[in-house]
Structure 1
């Protein structure tokens, strides 16, 4: 992954999400918890999923491109990230639980 994509806010929320899942809320700052909670609430309330594709151009919401939140499709199930040619190898079958929309929030 090009390092510029790691500067995107969506990428940072995904990284915070994984840290929260693995280590718990106490390993995030209050600011990180608030941003992550807001991000997860947005995905849930608007029925959105995160997409990574290096061809996604920058826009007003993401100056680096590569990331977007888009309407959830039935094929997305409960996953936070849409599986595609760029993410399918990054999410092994046994990790599906980690990548599913959580019932609780940080």
Structure 2
């Protein structure tokens, strides 16, 4: 099962990703330097005990990889996950309106 998912971090920011095999243990690959810099701003109590939420936004048993990639971009834009104030996606480049 191919999936598009949204990860919500305790920083309040999100990451949208795709998974070609439907692994419930996969959490994507946002830039860890950026995530770690945001985590460093959290209180120590939060850094020591936190929850990361994964939500499946869309799934398909038979879409192509190309269709999956198009869907991922669609959700990144819909949720503005590429806006550095909102999310950790850095592609496609965010264009402020």
Calculate the TM-score normalised by the size of structure 2: 0.26
- Which has more helix, going by share of residues? 1
RCO comparison, higher one (Cα < 8 Å, 6+):
2
Calculate the TM-score normalised by the size of structure 1: 0.24
Greater C-alpha radius of gyration? 2
